Amino acid sequence: MRCASIVSGCHEVGGLFPLKAASLQELEMENEKLRDNLAALRKTVAQEEPSGKELLRQLEASQEELNRRRDECIQLHSVLANQTKGLKSVASNNYSTHVDIINEDGELVLAFEAQKKINSDGTFMEQFVRVLPCSRQLEDELQAEKVRWKSEREDLQQEIERLKEDNDRQQKILSVNLTKSPQSQQEAFMQHEITRLTSENLDLQEKFDTLSELCRKHRKQMKQLAKKLKDAGVMEVEGAVDAVPSPAGQDQRHNLPMVKKKEREYQGMFEYRKEDEQIIVRHLIHDLKPRVAVTLLPGLPSYILFMCIRHTDFINDDEKVRSLLTATINAVKKVIKRRHEDLETTILWLSNTLRLLHNLKQYSGDKTFQAENTPKQNEQCLKNFDLSEYRQVLSDIAVWIYQGVIRALEERVQPMVVPAILEHEAIPGLPGQKPMGMRGRSTSVVREIESPVDIQKALDVLLHELKGFHRLLSFHGVDPELIVQVFRQIFYFICASSLNNLLLRKDLCHWSKGMQIRYNLSHLEQWVRDHRMQNVYICVMILETRCSMFDMWSIQQIIKILNLYTPADDFEERVPVAFIRKIQTTLHERTESQEQVAHHLV
């Protein structure tokens, strides 16, 4: 196409002969052939390198743009040649053989200037540029329609082929049915119905499977939500998910025959490989969260570890049991050291450590710990190992964790002791102003320190904390005796803190304040069933009846509280100094007599 345009343009200009035009056409053909070879070589080189394909694609796009520009230049040359030929024909028609007189009056110059002005305005180029995209768009649309028509034609041909095959099949069936007997026709009809019903059943089964899968997902979501509610403290949802019937399970149970399980006797052991030891320790100790442990059986990690120990005893592998116990002890220490500020974690491993220690004692084979065992439990005792040394190590770890728990509880209770016990005033109408002896004088420095807890809410906050401690200890399966001991230690700390602050606060040593303190203590009586706060209770009784004596106080404490006592009003007298000295003498004499009696008894 490009060669033909060039040749025709050359003929129109009149500057080339036919022989030269043929030679030019051959050169163009040879040039096209060389371009094709060059493109083939470029593709071969581009396939060897990954980045060469992108470069080849860009080069081809540039080459196409260059060819398009070359065609436009050829078309412009052709248009220019046509205009030149037209001008020559006009000149020859008007002036015949006298062409020289064309520019006699400057007419040729004027025409040239007019043509130049037209070209400078760009009207022709603008029209050409405006028409060229339209022609390209029409050409692209024509190619797209051609491709679409070809695709539709192929689809229609395939549909015709399919219909022909279906028609042939129907013709064969019709010819066979015409030759069959009525009984054969009935059999064919039944076969057709069976095929149709089978297809419908498969569709229904597919729908049923989809709905069953959806139901299973919903049940899984319900279990997850129930677990979250249980973690949040809503215990009523326990078993709610299990109560929801499963349609798929019910249908399968009705359709399948009943399977009866034979009775099995479990040995209570966990078999594991030596290389799985670290995995067991990691999952049972390092990765176990208190929120997850609350949903499990209390002490489950310790039971699993003990079952692994029983298996090592069963196979008599002392190296394996030594490695397991050492890894367990080190893991517990590491977890407590890393999370010592987390009260739930320390309580969790206090419970599990004691449970593992109790299991090792109960199944050790020692007669001391077998008093309450059943015959079956005695049969399951350790046969080959004596783990008394490891029991002592576990006992020391349990004491260490217990001390950490007590220390954490005391730190959380300490800011609330003085506001809740000594400063909280819950009895309405009882005068709580400063006593007469304190008016006009500054109070103790301790009094001036602002309380970290609101005094009016301090008692409720303290009770709430105590309930939270008890709930944590119960959820993690701590032994009831240990829970009693923990609260005995907490109340002992409350007693000591209250008494120490009371001996330093003269503004609290009067009768009306004693009544307020006694009323506050009445709210804590439910927590002191096993060990009452004797020191605080005695202090309150001394504030109410000054003439009583109490053996649990030292002489210095009694004298100190009598000296600090201040009358509540002008009608009450202070404690006389002579009375205080007499009490001090009497207490010294009583102490000496008790020491002499004890010496004689010895």
pLDDT at residue number 596:
58
Is residue 509 left, alpha or beta, with left meaning phi > 0 and alpha meaning psi from -120 to 50? Answer: beta
Cβ atoms of 12 and 82 within 8 Å: the answer is yes
The residues, ordered by sequence, that sit 6+ positions from 532 with a Cβ below 8 Å of its Cβ are: 491, 525
Cβ atoms of 26 and 95 within 8 Å: the answer is no
Closest residue by Cα to residue 345 from 401, 301, 398: 401
State in Å, rounded, how far the first CA of the chain is from the last one: 136
| DSSP one-letter string for 341-366 | T-HHHHHHHHHHHHHHHHHHHHTS--
Q: What is the rounded average pLDDT for all residues in the chain? A: 74
pLDDT at residue number 394:
93
pLDDT at residue number 497:
84
Low-confidence ranges of the chain (pLDDT < 50): 1-7, 9-17, 235-241, 243, 245, 247-248, 254, 433, 435-449, 530-550, 571, 602
E strand or H helix at 145: helix 123-179
Identify the residue whose tokens are 């080190």.
330
pLDDT at residue number 270:
86
**Number of Cα atoms under 13 Å in the Cβ half of residue 159:** 6
The two three-digit tokens of residue 154, written as one number:
């192929």
Residue 450 gets which letter from DSSP? P
Residue 100 gets which letter from DSSP? G
Q: Is the dihedral of CA 309, 313, 317, 322 positive or negative?
A: positive
